[in-house]
Structure 1
Amino acid sequence: MPDILASPEIQAFASGFPVMIGHVLLTFALLALGATLYAWLTPWKEIALIREGNAAASVAFGGVLIGLAIPLAVSLSVSTSLRDIGVWGIATLVLQLFAFRVVDLILTGLPQRIQEGEISAAVLLVAAKLATALILAAALAG
């Protein structure tokens, strides 16, 4: 048994696992921060609408979460330290939140339609936000 614990694989796991946990926790914290900022910045209150059973708001906010997670995941994959993840993660959030806001402004009238529970409006909004997330993620990957 002592030979197994001294193996390079177990030693690599023992040293790398805590680092991975730190990277994942920071990325989840950035995701929570981004989702909170988005909810705060939007003209409509999706969380309240979701609590009221509005499926369109749920679809739209789900798209936001995925749209924030995609570039954060790429940031996590290309970064080598907590500082690196923090810097690129924050840059990603700022750019993504800005892009989301622009999409919201371009697709005028969608917030009202989402408030009214129109799923088609939510799906279009999600598609636009996911498209910006994929482009930003590709830019990060270089």
Structure 2
Amino acid sequence: MLASSLTGFAAFAAYLATAIVMVGVFGTAYAFMTPHREFRLLRQGCAAAVPAFLGALIGYVVPLTAAMRWSANLMDFVIWAVIAAVVQALAYVATRLIVPDVSTRITNNDVSAGALLGGIALAFGLINAASMTP
């Protein structure tokens, strides 16, 4: 019985490991893409960086899980994970169009700017995930 329960373990492990790597790569790339340096700001205790960065991460992970659910195979999953990352980059660009100084405001610990950026990132992520249907 245990052997039959573990038949999908290899696929589970492959998808889990790939997703964790993709989240790490996305988080690192996103932190370097934005003019405000999230990791530095977070280490300094900048409260505004928290909702901004978490919004981007969650906005990425939500479509990542949708891609994991609907992908035909691991390579298909990776392709859709990259698309999800591009959508998050577009969320940042869209926010910059609305509030051009959002990164400066986050660096200056304006929590409302961080919350706005995080909220827009999450909204883009939810729409992105909903769009990933078979």
Q: TM-score, normalised by structure 2?
A: 0.90
For 1:104, the equivalent position in structure 2 comes to: 96
Aligned to 1:128: 120
Structure 1 segment 30-109 matched on structure 2, within 5 A: 30-109=22-101
| Structure with max Cα Rg | 1
Partners of 1:105 and 1:29 in 2: CA distance = 30
Shift of 1:35: 1.0
- What is the aligned partner in structure 2 of residue 118 from structure 1? 110
1:102-133: per-residue Cα shift (whole Å, max 9, x none)?
32333222211111111112111111111111
Distance in 2 separating the partners of 1:54 and 1:119: 9
Looking at structure 2, the residues matched to 82 and 123 of structure 1 have their Cα atoms a distance apart, in angstroms, of: 33
Calculate the TM-score normalised by the size of structure 1: 0.85
Deviations 1:48-82, CA, capped at 9 Å, x for gaps: 11111111112211111111111111101111321
Give % identity. 32
Provide structure 2 residue ranges, at least 5 long, that are not aligned to the other structure.
Answer: none
C-alpha RMSD of the superposition: 1.5
Structure 1 spans left out of the alignment, 5+ residues: 1-6
- CA drift of 1:20 comes to 0.7
Counterpart-to-counterpart distance in 2, 1:65 and 1:90:
13
Cα separation, 2, equivalents of 1:99 and 1:70: 14
Letter in 1 for 2:123: A
Point out the structure with the larger helix share: 1
- The amino acid of 1:13's aligned partner reads S
How many residue pairs align between the two structures? 134
Q: Which amino acid aligns with 1:86?
A: V
Q: Distance in 1 between matches of 2:119 and 2:69?
A: 24
